Structure 1
């Protein structure tokens, strides 16, 4: 331990700040791992986990589990946003396969101490791929809500645009926070840094960042943070990077039955006659969950203003048609 770490431990003990005390202990564990002492690092991590489990059980007995406030490091202010979502997986309409795989990740995180007793580690790196609006970002929120962890949303495009030339060093600061502060970290638009090496449009800075990310994903995660990378363009990701994820989960546009479930869930406070769905399938086709939610919200707002609790088929069909028209124009403009 360094003198600085000893000071930090004593100060947190004096101030009664258990979260800071345990955070410093995890920093020491990470240092031990880097110095080639994995057994000592593992013992420290287990002790920290035991302390947190005991505190969680004690809080549960009182009826509430507190969540410590966590914020990005000062160097990342403006590039990383921290929130405490209350979303859960049960509030999402997901394909059975996706639902089951995410539930398995949550369970592994919750039982990580048991897994380590048998020489196993929980899944900590997820890659979510699929078209825009299919629920990738919301999934990160749901995972944070399920695990009662802060969600740190990293805007990679902003990181490049504001600090081009310093991006690799900023990424190192981010990696240090992931290792030291447990949370769910969403790396949105991951293709910004994960593009294939050797691409004709590649530049040295991006290649250095990609290499640093590859190295980071091989490092031990001392806090069991969950890193969730999301991309709409999996086809351009470097193969070496994709292989380092514990889970690669694909999101697709919802089938008619799933689309209907999304709308019904969104309009649960209103009366929807069964005849509303007759002949509505063409209007649902090709719309993402995000677009379906916006159509439902549009209808809901009109109903609230009109003081009615009923949703007509024509009203819903019109809202869906508007989303289809907008999507068609957007696609046409993007092709030009």
Structure 2
């Protein structure tokens, strides 16, 4: 039988989400059992570890979804903590409320109440909507299932609604955070002149699926333009969070977070923060990582103000041509 130290190490590595250490200790347990003459148990433990490793690759877990949904849902186990999310305090507080209610959902249910499960994220590209879904999945210790909405919509009558039904059926069987990006592709306003009958039927089906969903999974929908969504969708969500470009304090916090130890002690924040004006969180983060790469390649341990500004300007030039 596993030693007390091995059991404690297994629990510690699991709680710290250190998958490789967990595997290593499990194999040590298998080796220990083999020495004790328990060959069958040792073989079973090794088989369990090998099978799970085959299903896991760079944080992506292959989940046996129905064949019809192959390629439509991407699964991952994110490791992005809450502190990595840069957003206004009010947004962070409401996001934290979702996490708090999830962990205390049993207490709420005793009073006939339910935790927030359906969240709509709205805001410009690069402001943190996808990262928020990953952070939430990590904080709730649930897998993240990203629905490829652009692949979900097909030209065949009834096929899109059928696939949506399958996704909601899976949602009831596999608890997780289900992320629908570019949600307006299936949730568009039915009153728009260019709307077609099939997409109206898809939206009607979607409204019904959301209304009837009583699973333990979390549904997150994201859109860059909430004005494109049908008004009936908004009341189907428990909370709507609006994202925007970062203000000055958020820009500074983001730069400090990404640069970390590469942040130079002689930083003229005024010039840097002015250069960030108009850039999204994703663009600023990418510029910081580009600056770190250059520092590493030149054997430098710090990123200077001018080096970061140069990379920020390059990001601005890339997007200015779009």
TM range (shorter): 0.7 to 0.9
Q: Paired residue for 2:79, among 82, 86, 109?
A: 86
Map 1:1-336 to 2 at 5 A.
62-63=11-12, 64=14, 71=63, 72-161=65-154, 165-222=158-215, 224-330=216-322
C-alpha separation in 2, matches of 1:311 and 1:300: 7
Maintained 8 Å contact 1:217/1:244? yes
**Structure 1: how far apart are the matches of 2:8 and 2:170?**
26
Counterpart-to-counterpart distance in 2, 1:246 and 1:158? 26
**Most deviating of 131-140 and 199-208:** 199-208
Distance in 2 (alpha carbons) for counterparts of 1:265 and 1:183 = 28
Secondary structure of the 2:146 match is strand
Q: Is the CA contact 2:73–2:145 (under 8 Å) kept in the aligned structure 1?
A: yes
Q: How far apart are residue 165 of structure 1 and its match?
A: 4.7
Runs of 4+ in structure 1 off by over 6 angstroms are 58-61, 66-70
Gaps in structure 1 of 5+ consecutive residues:
1-57, 331-336
From the superposition, tell whether residues 286 and 75 of structure 1 become closer, same or farther in structure 2 (CA, over 3 Å). same
SS of 1:82's equivalent? strand
Scaled by the length of structure 1, the TM-score of the pair is: 0.76
When normalised by structure 2's length, the TM-score is: 0.80
Determine helix, strand or coil for the equivalent of 2:179: strand
Q: Which runs of 5+ in 2 are unaligned?
A: 1-6, 20-51, 53-60
Is the Cα–Cα contact under 8 Å of residues 181 and 222 in structure 2 kept in the other structure?
yes
Partner of 2:32: none
Q: How has the CA–CA distance of structure 1 residues 60 and 178 changed in structure 2, closer, same or farther, with 3 Å as cutoff?
A: farther
Deviations 1:185-213 (A, max 9, x none): 00000000111113111112211110011
Contact in 1 for aligned 2:275/2:309 (Cα 8 Å): yes
Alignment partners' CA distance in 2, 1:233 and 1:100 = 23
Task: Indicate how the Cα distance of structure 1 residues 163 and 305 shifts in structure 2: closer, same or farther if over 3 A, else same.
Answer: farther
Deviation at residue 73 of structure 1 after TM alignment: 3.1
Q: Provide the secondary structure at the position in 2 that maps to 1:62.
A: helix
Aligned position for 1:31? none
**Contact kept in structure 1, 2:279 and 2:316, CA below 8 Å:** yes
CA RMSD after TM alignment: 2.2
Do 1:167 and 1:205's aligned partners in 2 also have CA atoms closer than 8 Å? no
